[in-house]
Amino acid sequence: AQTVTQSQPEMSVQEAETVTLSCTYDTSESDYYLFWYKQPPSRQMILVIRQEAYKQQNATENRFSVNFQKAAKSFSLKISDSQLGDAAMYFCAYRSAGKSTFGDGTTLTVKP
Amino acid sequence: DAGVIQSPRHEVTEMGQEVTLRCKPISGHDYLFWYRQTMMRGLELLIYFNNNVPIDDSGMPEDRFSAKMPNASFSTLKIQPSEPRDSAVYFCASSYTSSSYEQYFGPGTRLTVT
């Protein structure tokens, strides 16, 4: 079975600084996709960024980028120029054959 | 599209009562997922459907929980009888078939069982 591990229950960052959230996963499959979702206090789950496992190039979406290390099964999220609105719980997710597996989440606090 | 629609948004019920949560997925999506979120257990996948057929219900806690998807635009999650430990936020999500697509989540139903 696939597992997703987020080893940092909580992280904090100063506004305008950079923070990296960690995620590792375990799978024996070769075709899969990885996602980071954000859940603000409103509890609405929002997609932040996705990565195709077959692509070596790391995905980037504005201030959000990933460091995808397929051999190490690592998928970290980097948030640059952190803003107060980035404060939320972040979930790493793995998806293959339709089904998704989510990590336990990392709560990010942004300090003004 | 209005996104994934869930009702009710909040539900407070007494132990032993039947609870029915409802979900309308995004039109055209053929996967539907039910999740439960609690502080203790995080985000748990309860069951998911593909083309209205249940594919994996291994996450359903026990026989008190049941889910149906009678058509492509509607699904229910029923708890009978409800217990205080069922208190949680229940999310419905939908997506297209390919795993390359993200899941679109509804706003969730906050269930409180007293």
pLDDT at A30: 84
Nearest to A98 among B50, B89, B102 (CB): B50
Does residue A109 have a pLDDT over 70? yes
Using an 8 Å CB-CB cutoff, list chain B residues near A105.
Answer: 42-43
Among the listed residues A103, A111, A108, A112, the one whose alpha carbon sits nearest the alpha carbon of residue A7 = A103
Q: What do you get for the CA distance between the two ends of chain B, in Å?
A: 36
Inter-chain CB proximity B99 and A98 less than 8 Å: yes
Q: In residues, how long is chain B?
A: 114
Which pLDDT tens digit goes with each residue over B98-109?
777 889 999 999
pLDDT surpasses 70 at A4? yes
DSSP characters over A44-101: --EEEEEEETT--SPPEETTEEEEEETTTTEEEEEE-S--GGG-EEEEEEEEETTEEE
Give the number of beta-carbon pairs within 8 Å between A and B: 47
The pLDDT confidence band at residue B41, using thresholds 50, 70 and 90, is confident
Q: Which residue of A has its CA nearest to B105?
A: A45
pLDDT higher than 80, residue A1: no
Mean pLDDT, range A54-81, rounded to an integer: 95
Q: A92, A112, A110, A95: which is closest to A21 by C-alpha?
A: A92
Sequence-distant contacts of B61-68: CB under 8 A, at least 24 apart: B67/B34
Q: What is the mean pLDDT of chain B?
A: 94
Q: What is the pLDDT of residue B1?
A: 67
User: Residue range A86-95: average pLDDT?
Assistant: 96
Contact B55 A44 (CB under 8 A): no
Work out the average pLDDT over B44-48: 94
Q: Where are the beta strands (DSSP E) in chain B?
A: 5-7, 10-13, 19-24, 31-38, 42-50, 53-56, 65-71, 74-79, 88-95, 104-105, 109-113
- Picking from B43, B50, B102, the nearest residue to A102 by CB comes out as B43
Taking the Cβ of residue A67 and every Cβ of chain B, the question of whether any pair is shorter than 8 Å is answered with no
Q: Which two tokens stand for residue A17?
A: 């600084």
Per-residue confidence band for B52, with pLDDT thresholds at 50, 70 and 90: very high
- Torsions phi, psi for A111 (to 5 deg): -95, 130
A1/B contact by beta carbon, under 8 A: no
Q: How far is A96 from chain B (nearest CA, A)?
A: 6
Measured between beta carbons, which residues in chain B are less than 8 angstroms from residue A91?
43
Cβ contact, residue pair A104, B42, below 8 Å: yes
Question: Is residue A47 less than 8 Å (CB to CB) from chain B?
Answer: yes
Res A97: pLDDT: 81
CB contact under 8 A, A47 and B48: no
Residue A111 near residue A15, CB atoms below 8 Å: yes
What percentage of chain A has pLDDT greater than the value 90?
A: 85
Coil/strand/helix, residue B84: helix
A44 in contact with chain B, both atoms CB, cutoff 8 A? yes
Model confidence at A99: pLDDT above 90:
no
- How confident is the model over A27-54, as pLDDT tens digits? 988 889 999 999 999 999 999 999 999 8
Write the secondary structure of B13-35 as one string of H (helix), E (strand) and C (coil).
ECCCCCEEEEEECCCCCCEEEEE
Tokens encoding A20:
């990296």
Flag the least confident range among A1-5, A30-34, A39-43, B90-94: A1-5
- Looking at residue A48, its pLDDT comes to 96
